[in-house]
Structure 1
Amino acid sequence: MTTLLLIEQVLNGLQFGVMLFLMAAGLTLIFGVMGLINLAHGSLYMVGAFAAAAVAGWTGSFFLALVGSMVAAAMAGALVELTVIRRLYARDHLDQVLATFALILIFSEATRWIFGSFPLFLNVPEMLKGTITLPGGIQYSLYRLTIIGIGLAVAVGLFLLISKTRIGMRIRAGENDREMIAALGVDISVLYTVVFALGAALAGLSGALVGAIQSVEVGMGEPVLILAFVVIVIGGIGSIKGALAGAILVGLTDTLGRTLLPVVFGSFMEVSAATTIGSALASMLIYILMAGVLLFKPTGLFGKT
């Protein structure tokens, strides 16, 4: 494998990690502040992707498609929180899992009813098509590089929101002692709705960005949701910094594993067998990484002890 190809795969892993961060950031906020296991978070990712495809089809604007994805996912998230999730905060985690799993089925069937069973496609805007030359003569997709930039910008924005603003102060306080901030006059119900809508909007944005790389179809959010849970376990529940670190680790591990392991096995066996075995082992690497992190730091890299 050449050095240029390795650098390209590192960038691909970073892009994948940034996409996972957008999913995991909302998930870790919801779980950290509300203590809620939300299996339907992947459905909000799907809602964002379908909303983006629909808005892009109506307007021809990719920027409006991104805005539409966030608005649609945030509205769907707020509606779900007000009608269903709000009744689950005092229930145990099993009830939360069952209820949010039912939401997955509802979202999937509603999306299939509205958009049909066939995949939709979201085109990369003309200004972001093609490649850009990076230092060292590396040719890399301009759109994927834009995803990396957007993800990092969102990470900085979330950090500033949580650490420097009044709403961020309330979110941090709600994570540590929700009864106390309720006693101080903060409307905890409104805070929960805002946090849930924010997490949903980030998931919707992630779905819209990925929708221009792969097809937009029913059920596309569930595989990403599993990886997002791995990310927050590795990074530490409730930590935005941990979500970013965990997402990048998972993205790089998965991408480089799928690239390098077939090459390693290909040095002493047939190419077809090496590809099969390498791909199988690569899919296990992120779970091995998670187990290794939890072995030495059970709360995750940036989780609270």
Structure 2
Amino acid sequence: MSAVLLIEQALNGLQFGVMLFLMAAGLTLIFGVMGLINLAHGSLYMIGAFAAAWVAGLTGSFLLALAASLAAAAVAGVLIELLVIRRLYDRDHLDQVLATFALILILSEGTRWVFGSFPLYLDTPDWLSGTLRLPFGIDYSRYRLAMIGAGLVIAAALFAMISKTRLGIRIRAGENDREMIAALGVNISALYTLVFALGAALAGLAGALIGAIQSVQVGMGEPVLILAFVVIVIGGIGSIKGAFIGALLVGLTDTLGRALLPSAFATFLEPAAANSVGASLASMAIYILMAGVLIFRPRGLFGAAT
């Protein structure tokens, strides 16, 4: 593989990683602060993608579509938290898993009823179409570069909010001792709703951004949710920094594995066998990475010691 192609695949892995971070950040906030296992997080990703595709089809504006994805996912998150999730905080994790799995089915069928069974498509805006010439003669997609930039800006803003703002202090305090901050006068119910809405909005934005690369369809969130859980396990539950590093590791491992492993086996296997073996190992690579991390750091790279 040439150096140019290797750099392009690394950029693809970086783009995939920052999108996974948007999913995993909300998921780790919800679990870290609320102690809630939310299997319906992928459905919020799907809702954001469908809202963006629908608004883009009506208005032709990509920026309005992104705003719609944030708003739709956040509103859906607030409604879910108020109507369902709020009743699960004092229940065990099995009840949470069963209830949020039921939400997946309800939201999937509801989305199918509203938008139909056929995929929707979100076009890349003209001002982000085409390629941009990078150093070393690399022509890379403007849209993917914009996704990387947007993801890094959001990550920096999220880090700053968690570490520098009053809201961030309350979120971190709620993660460590929710009874104490409730006793100090913080409205813990409002904080939970806000955190859930923030996590939902990030998932919806990730769905909208990916929607311009792949089709928007029912069930698109579940495969990404699985990867987001892998990211959290690698990075450490409740750690935004861990979610960011874990997402980049997963994105680069998956993308570079799919690009490099088939060619690595081509030196001593027939092309068809090399592609089959390489593709199979590439699909396993992120889980091998997760297993390796858990062997040496069972709490994840940046998980708090218990």
TM class, shorter-length: over 0.9
- Please state whether the residue corresponding to 1:294 is helix, strand or coil: helix
The residue type paired with residue 293 of structure 1 is V
The aligned length equals 305
Shift of 1:128: 0.2
- What is the distance in 2 between the residues matched to 1:67 and 1:294? 38
One-letter code aligned to 2:5: L
Q: CA deviation at 1:272?
A: 1.5
1:212-239 Cα distance to aligned partner (Å, 9 max, x none): 0000000000000000000011001111
Q: Which amino acid aligns with 2:180?
A: M
Q: Which residue of 1 aligns with 2:189?
A: 189
The aligned counterpart of 1:302 is 302
Q: Structure 1: any 5+ residue segments left out of the alignment? A: none
Post-superposition CA distance 1:255-295 (Å, at most 9, x none): 01001010011111121211111111111110110011111
After the TM superposition, which residues 155-194 of structure 1 pair with which residues of structure 2 at under 5 Å, given as runs? 155-194=155-194
Match of 1:89 in 2: 89
Provide the secondary structure at the position in 1 that maps to 2:139. Answer: strand
Q: Distance in 1 between matches of 2:135 and 2:288?
A: 34
Give the fraction of aligned pairs with identical amino acids, expressed as a percent.
77
Aligned CA RMSD, in angstroms, stands at 0.5
Per the TM alignment, residue 8 of structure 1 is displaced from its structure 2 partner at its CA by 0.3
Aligned to 2:253: 253
In the alignment, the residues of structure 2 paired with residue 164 and residue 59 of structure 1 have an alpha-carbon distance, to the nearest angstrom, of: 37
Partner of 1:288: 288
Mapping 1:10-89, distance limit 5 Å: 10-89=10-89
**Normalised TM-score (structure 2):** 0.99
Distance in structure 2 (CA, Å) of the matches to 1:271 and 1:113: 44
Residue identity in the other structure for 2:151:
G
Once residues 186 and 132 of structure 1 are traced to their aligned partners in structure 2, the CA distance between those partners, rounded to angstroms, is 49
User: Aligned partners of 2:268, 2:120: CA distance in 1, in Å?
Assistant: 42
* Aligned equivalent of 1:144: 144
The separation in 1 between residues aligned to 2:137 and 2:212, in whole angstroms, is 26
CA distance in 2, matches of 1:22, 1:71: 15
Secondary structure of the equivalent of 2:136? coil
**2:223 maps to which residue?**
223
Tell me the CA shift for residue 135 of structure 1: 1.1
Aligned residue in 1 for 2:7: 7
The one-letter amino acid of 1:187's match is: N
Aligned to 2:120: 120
User: CA–CA distance in 2 between the matches of 1:177 and 1:240?
Assistant: 18
Instruction: Provide the TM-score with structure 1 as the length reference.
Output: 0.99
Deviation at 1:75, TM superposition (A): 0.2
Shift of 1:77: 0.4
SS in 2 for 1:132: strand
